[in-house]
Amino acid sequence: MRVAVLICTFVAALFAAVPARAECLAAPDLPADAAAGPAAHDRQGRLVAPVMVNGQGPFRFIVDTGANRSVLSRRLAEQLGLVPSGVGMVHSIDNVSEAPLASITSLRYGALDLPSGATPLLEGPVLAGEDGLLGVDGMRGRRLRMDFERRCIEITPARNAGMLRGWEMVRGELRFGHLVMVRAAVRGVRVNVLIDTGSDTSLANTALQEALRTRMRDSDEAFGAPRAFTAGQTVVLDNIMVISQLSMGELELDNVAAYVGDFHIFALWDLLEDPTLLIGMDVLSQTKGLAIDYDRARVFFDLGDRRRGRWAVN
């Protein structure tokens, strides 16, 4: 069996200390097709959910809005006695490679059944020692809400989800089934923006860099060659730019730093020629919370006490 899997996770080779657990919000009364509960942080600050696999666990899965399929670590597959039954093509930030597939009978978050079946097995720094990635293939018609401050995750039917009062909303569109893309602008340049909670680093394509160069001299800055990990390989990045102001609807983001390159993932999405920015957890984690409505293609940000509509990245 061969399947194509999109894994957009990108992990820089920098490790942050895991902060102390905060008290979690009490889960509201939830319908049958919903789940909510506490989460943890991995070493890169990404949210990690407790997930049951084949009735065992819970295991630690990174919540990855850039992955169209959930993924198991090879270590966990061995622990569960899973035997590879095929090969799939895994598209990462910088390449496409083969990965073994193992069949799982159930994948659950709380009381919520998520897509199982043939599941890719990965290893290496991309998982940062965690048990797997929780992809967005189970989010159709649902709203995923992540509280970064209190470390909670909530998945509810989008049509029955309560209002997010005080949150900033940005309209988007669905690409490739489950990938939410929103429109933005930088200095009058139209930009595609992708929200990726599996990446701890923000990325831009060279089309965006060149468009900004034409609009404003000295809009980018080089910082040597930092090292980063994608799904299985190490990538050297030698260019970074700081976007002084990014407008998404009525929301303004200041000082967004992004590594620049024509990464494989931009080509896969047919976005090499269009100015595009992938926003990772280096930016997202500076909000109090993020919610994505996979039914209406809406993205919500909880900016907390910040001035309404303004979001400065430190």
Question: What radius of gyration do the chain's Cα atoms show?
Answer: 19
Most confident of 29-43, 70-84, 168-182: 70-84
**Residues 132 and 175 reside in one and the same domain:** no
Please tell me whether residues 58 and 117 are part of one structural domain.
yes
Q: Is residue 183 domain-shared with residue 132, that is, in the same domain?
A: no
Residues 272 and 177 reside in one and the same domain? yes
pLDDT at 94: 80
For the chain, the distance separating the N- and C-terminal CA atoms, rounded to the nearest angstrom, is: 46
pLDDT score, position 308: 58
Into how many domains does the chain fold? 2
pLDDT band at 124 (very low <50, low <70, confident <90, very high): confident
**Residues 177 and 298 grouped into a single domain:** yes
For residue 8, tell me if it sits in a domain: no
Question: Which of the four pLDDT bands, split at 50, 70 and 90, describes residue 312?
Answer: low
- Give the count of beta carbons closer than 10 Å to the beta carbon of residue 224: 9
* Weakest-pLDDT range from 155-159, 200-204, 218-222: 218-222
Q: Which of 90, 118, 138 is the last residue in one of the domains?
A: 138
Q: Which residue has the higher pLDDT, 56 or 95?
A: 56
Return the minimum-mean-pLDDT range out of 8-22, 113-127, 216-230, 257-271. Answer: 8-22
Question: What's the mean pLDDT in 66-91?
Answer: 93
**More reliable by pLDDT, 102 or 165:** 102
Q: Residue 48: which CATH number?
A: 2.40.70.10
Look at residue 230 and tell me whether its pLDDT is greater than 60.
no
In a domain, 161, yes or no: no
In the prediction, which pLDDT does 228 show?
A: 44
Distance CA 244, CA 219 (A): 9
Q: Is residue 5 a part of any domain in this protein?
A: no
Query: Is 191's pLDDT higher than 90?
Result: yes
What value does the mean pLDDT of the chain take? Answer: 82
In a domain, 39, yes or no: yes
Q: Is the pTM of this model over 0.85?
A: no
pLDDT one-digit tens code per residue, 207-229: 999 998 887 664 443 333 444 44
Q: What is the pLDDT of residue 128?
A: 85
pLDDT of residue 213: 85
Enclosing H/E stretch for 144: strand 142-147
Q: What is the pLDDT of residue 57?
A: 94
Q: For the residues of 18-73, what is the DSSP string, one character each? A: PPPPPPPPPP----TT-EEEE-EE-TTS-EEEEEEETTEEEEEEEE-TTBSS-EEE
Q: What is the pLDDT of residue 76?
A: 97
DSSP code of residue 249: T
State the residue range of the domain holding 105: 35-138
**In angstroms, rounded to a whole number, what is the distance separating the alpha carbons of residues 218 and 89?**
39
Q: In the predicted model, is pLDDT for residue 192 greater than 60?
A: yes
- pLDDT for 79: 97
Most confident of 15-19, 79-83, 92-96, 248-252: 79-83
Q: Name the more confident of 156 and 125.
A: 156
Evaluate if residue 241 carries a pLDDT over 80.
yes
CATH code (residue 206): 2.40.70
The mean pLDDT value for 18-36 works out to: 59
Let me know whether 257 and 190 are in one domain.
yes
Enumerate residues 6+ apart whose C-beta is below 8 A from 175.
181, 269
**In which band, very low, low, confident or very high, does the pLDDT at 232 lie, cut at 50, 70 and 90?**
very low
With respect to residue 59, please indicate whether it lies within any of the assigned structural domains. yes
pLDDT at 12: 43
pLDDT tens profile 33-43: 889 999 998 88
